[in-house]
Every structure is written in structure tokens, then in C-alpha cells.
């Protein structure tokens, strides 16, 4: 029996809806084909944006979208992507497959996409190969209403009102593809760049510093010490890689051992955030600076026969369990984690959507986001799980993961059974429950949706009972549920 004990009197705060955010880079078929097909495409679109992808993102209430990268961000020059299409510069996307980028999707298109989805834009600017002036003018172009030459250019390009974009990333992975900088050097660069990111109107910018590569605790230490007071948030990147970077697990054909290794590595996110948070807290005990996990998710071998630079991978129940576990971890750390962005929305890494021509597939990971959406902007409540361990001798983890929140007089508990073999009898106590109902996503560990059939989706859950104020139910192997309790 797995026991989930809730304490509504104890809370880490409100779960920022942006924890359920996404990331879209000019990489493979994420932007082009996945989200943007152009106005002249036979694929149904509105102003060039695929209708099916936009509708799918709206259904999960996608709150924020990060763009244009990723590594691409530090080679991207925004002025190449504004103005008449035929005059836009063509460049080689050296990071991702060496394909020619025609810049047909630029600032106006990205902000139109966000408008259609109804989400906040998060723009990541170029520090690695850009200039302070370039970033300062991008902020001005997007946010100012004054009649400066930069703003007049925006008017000439068809947009009168400023967009008022809040979230600005100052470089990406500057410890790696963003310039191979040392933290001491980047800390100074961050201080300099952010100085010229001006406020226009009432729109308060959220200036996001490039944070560490996973467990590089020194990077966090140096950044907080030297630049903490100049930032509103700092990023953290952590990918779940089963195997090694040179020999990664296949996305759909994997063993039970690889399944548990993946889950064990995903579970590390909890310790990682706790340790990075502890460093941040020494410099920022008031929690003024947010932690933004703006790249996370599984990274498998690319699908056989696809361009290795396009990072296209299928998505199974294993990926769904990683999402369920990780989102529960983020909810539990909502006093520090203010945003997270799954990499990457469509056709790249752990996507929520896959496309092929005019066809679209919603992945099991998509359905986890659908199940968890009740947590957005809800008050997190303390949630303790006591359950047996599952896994192999090498990789074992707690069989059940859960998180809970309250909103509008209801409690939402999301719980997942991480075993791919055994059921879990679950009991939720601490609420004095009167009624409860649930929805569940489940399937074999390597089950997936494809363009021929999509058997995996959330469905109403049978057998959720209230007994003496407690809620009891059974989770099948690889089962993830959202239970609403009144």
C-alpha cells in the first residue's frame, strides 16, 4: 500500500503556471513544419501557424513558450528575421544539421504564434556571438512605444503596438555552445548586458541569467555571488539521458533495466533543485530570484533514418512517467521554481506533439500535461509519500510519486506508479474527503502513439473510492492519475 499524506496547513506557495511551459528552437522540424508552415501551405493554418498544433497547445493551457533557442539563440541575429520575407538573410544553422535557415519565422511570427496559443513569450537573446546593442535594440523593438528609429522599423514592418514581452534570457548555455565562458566572465557579461535591457512603459522585465549545466554547483555559486542582485531569475538545464551521451537509449526499443535507469536519472531533478536552491538561498534568502528549468526532458537516440542533427525521437509511456515524476518535483519546489520549459514542443526530444506532413500525434507526455493542468496557479500543499521501492538492484526509486494543490475548494492530487510491472494500491489521507474522481493515463512502458493509431490518452478512472475520509484507488503499472477530491 502506498500512502499519500496531505497537510493542507503546510504550503510552499502557489504553483506558478509557467512551470507547465514549453521550449521551441530553430532545430529540426520544431519551428518549421511543426509549428509554422507558412500562409501558402496546404496544411490548415492561421497566418502560417499550424491550426492543429496551436489548438493542441491551447487545450493544455500552455502558459509560456521559450524561443529561438537553445544553442541557436547565440547564433541568432534578430534583425535577420524581420522585414519583407524575400529580403531576409539566409544563414546556416551550424548547431542543428547544417541546414539553411531562411529566417521566415522571426520575431513577428513568434509573437503571433504566442498570441494564437494564448501564452507568454520568453525570448532568449544572443550573448555568445551578439552585442549589447543588438540585445538592447531587440528589447526596444519589441517593447517601446516611442517614435525612435528602431520602433519606426517595427511600424514599417506592420506592427503598431508594442508587444510588452516580459521574459528575456541573457544568453543560453554560455558555459558551452553559448561561448564556452567561465562563470566569472559570464557573470560580468550578464551584468553588462542586463544594464541596457530597459523598461518601456509599465512592463517590468524579468531578466534571466544563464544558469548551470545540471550539477555544476560552482557556476551557480559564482553567478549568485557576483551577479545575483542584477537578475530576476536564473536558468537550469538538466536532461534525462539513459546510457551515455555517446550511447543513448533508443526511444521505443528499450529494456526494463533502461526503463528504471531513466526514471532514476529523472528523479535526480529533486536533489538537483534542492542543492541549487540551497546555494541560491545563501545569497537570496527572500527567494527574490526565481529558478527557471528552461530545458528538461528525455534525450534518446534519434529515430533510425532521421537526420541526427534534428533530434527527432518517439515518445512512450516511459517518457510520460518522466514527465509525471518531474512535474511533481517542480510542484514540490514551487517556492523557488517559477518556470520550466520542456524540450521541445514539437518533433524534437521529449515533444508533446509530433507531425508528419498534415498529420499530427499527441504523445503520452502531452496527456500528462493535460492531466496536471489543474495545478496551474493553485496553492501547493504538503504531500508526503510512503511507498515501497521499485526498480532493479542498480536503479531503484520510490514506486509512487505525487504532488497536490488546492484551488476553488478542490484538491488535485497527481500520482504516478513508476513500476512497469506491479500495481500500486494507493491511499490518500489528511483531507477528510467526501467525494473523489479521477482521470488516468496508462499503457505498457514502451507503448506509444503514432500516425496510424493513438491508443494512449487520459480516460475516466474506475474504482476511485472514499472510505472514512480517505481516498483509495489502484494504479496500474505505468499509470499516472489526476484525482480531484472535495
**Interacting residues toward ligand AHR by CB under 6 A:** 25, 69-71, 172-173, 295, 343-344, 349
In the complex with ligand AHR, which residue's Cβ is closer, 245 or 247? 245
State in angstroms the smallest separation of the CB of 97 from ligand AHR.
12
- Rounded to 5 degrees, φ, ψ at 314 are -70, 180
Catalytic annotation, pick one of 101, 295, 301, 374: 295
Q: Is 295 designated active site?
A: yes
Measure Cα distances from 372 to 199, 330, 378, 420 in Å.
Answer: 34, 12, 11, 21
Q: How far is the CB of 109 from ligand AHR (least distance, A)?
A: 19
Choice between 291 and 387, CB closer to ligand AHR: 291
- Closest CB 237 distance from ligand AHR, rounded Å: 6
HSE-up of 246 (CA within 13 Å, CB side)? 0
Nearest-angstrom CA–CA distance, 94 and 9: 52
Q: Which of residues 235 and 252 has its CB atom nearest to ligand AHR in the complex? A: 235
Q: How far is the CB of 442 from ligand AHR (least distance, A)?
A: 28
The active-site residue, picked from 25, 109, 137, 173, is 173
Minimum separation from the CB atom of position 299 to ligand AHR (A):
8
Q: How far is the CB of 351 from ligand AHR (least distance, A)?
A: 11
Residue nearest to ligand AHR (CB): 70
Please state the φ and ψ torsions of residue 200, each to the nearest 5 degrees.
Answer: -120, 125
Question: Which one, 173 or 370, has the nearer CB to ligand AHR?
Answer: 173
Which one, 235 or 399, has the nearer CB to ligand AHR? 235
| CB contact at 8 A, 427 and 3 | yes
- Choice between 83 and 97, CB closer to ligand AHR: 97
Closest CA to 42 of 359, 358, 360, 451: 358
Catalytic site positions? 173, 295
Amino acid at each position: 500500500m502506498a500512502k499519500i499524506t496531505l497537510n493542507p496547513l503546510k504550503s510552499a506557495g502557489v504553483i506558478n503556471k509557467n512551470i507547465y511551459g514549453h521550449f521551441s528552437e530553430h532545430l529540426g522540424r520544431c519551428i518549421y513544419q511543426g509549428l509554422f508552415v507558412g500562409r501558402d501551405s496546404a496544411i490548415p493554418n492561421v497566418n502560417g501557424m499550424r491550426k492543429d498544433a496551436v489548438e493542441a497547445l491551447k487545450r493544455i493551457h500552455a502558459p509560456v513558450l521559450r524561443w529561438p533557442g537553445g544553442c541557436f539563440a547565440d547564433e541568432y541575429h534578430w534583425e535577420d528575421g524581420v522585414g519583407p520575407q524575400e529580403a531576409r538573410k539566409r544563414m546556416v544553422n551550424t548547431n542543428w544539421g547544417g541546414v539553411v535557415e531562411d529566417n521566415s519565422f522571426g520575431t513577428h511570427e513568434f509573437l503571433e504564434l504566442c498570441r494564437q496559443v494564448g501564452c507568454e513569450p520568453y525570448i532568449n537573446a544572443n550573448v555568445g556571438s551578439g552585442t549589447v546593442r543588438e540585445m538592447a535594440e531587440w528589447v526596444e523593438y519589441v517593447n517601446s512605444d516611442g517614435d525612435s528609429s528602431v520602433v519606426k522599423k517595427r511600424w514599417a514592418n506592420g506592427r503598431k503596438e508594442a508587444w510588452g514581452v516580459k521574459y528575456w534570457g541573457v544568453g543560453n548555455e554560455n558555459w558551452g555552445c553559448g561561448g564556452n565562458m567561465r562563470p566569472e566572465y559570464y557573470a560580468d557579461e550578464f551584468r553588462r548586458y542586463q544594464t541596457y535591457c530597459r523598461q518601456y512603459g509599465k512592463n517590468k522585465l524579468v531578466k534571466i541569467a544563464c544558469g548551470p549545466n545540471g550539477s555544476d554547483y560552482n557556476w551557480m555559486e559564482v553567478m549568485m555571488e557576483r551577479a545575483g542582485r542584477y537578475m530576476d531569475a536564473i536558468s537550469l538545464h538538466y536532461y534525462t539521458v539513459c546510457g551515455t551521451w555517446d550511447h543513448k537509449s533508443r526511444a521505443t526499443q528499450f529494456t526494463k533495466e533502461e526503463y528504471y535507469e531513466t526514471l532514476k536519472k529523472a528523479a535526480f531533478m529533486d536533489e538537483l533543485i534542492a542543492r541549487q536552491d540551497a546555494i541560491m538561498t545563501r545569497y537570496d534568502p527572500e527567494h527574490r530570484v526565481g529558478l527557471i528549468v528552461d530545458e528538461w526532458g528525455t534525450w534518446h537516440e534519434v529515430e533510425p533514418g532521421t537526420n541526427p542533427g534534428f533530434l527527432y525521437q518517439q515518445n512512450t509511456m516511459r517518457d510520460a512517467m518522466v514527465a509525471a515524476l518531474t512535474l511533481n518535483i517542480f510542484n514540490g519546489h514551487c517556492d523557488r521554481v517559477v518556470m520550466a520549459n520542456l524540450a521541445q514542443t514539437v518533433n524534437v526530444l521529449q515533444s508533446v506533439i509530433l507531425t508528419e506532413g498534415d498529420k499530427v500525434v499527441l504523445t503520452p507526455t502531452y496527456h500528462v500535461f493535460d492531466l496536471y493542468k489543474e495545478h496551474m496557479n493553485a496553492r501547493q500543499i504538503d504531500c508526503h509519500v510512503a511507498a515501497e521501492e521499485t526498480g532493479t538492484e542498480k536503479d531503484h526509486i520510490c514506486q509512487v510519486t505525487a504532488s497536490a494543490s488546492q484551488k476553488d475548494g478542490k484538491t488535485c492530487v497527481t500520482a504516478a506508479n513508476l513500476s512497469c510491472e506491479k500495481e500500486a494500491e494507493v491511499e490518500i489521507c489528511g483531507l477528510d474527503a467526501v467525494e473523489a474522481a479521477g482521470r488516468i493515463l496508462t499503457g505498457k512502458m514502451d507503448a506509444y502513439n503514432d500516425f496510424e493509431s493513438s491508443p494512449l490518452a487520459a480516460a475516466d478512472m474506475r474504482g476511485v473510492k472514499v472510505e472514512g475520509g480517505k481516498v483509495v484507488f489502484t494504479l496500474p503499472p505505468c499509470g499516472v492519475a489526476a484525482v480531484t477530491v472535495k
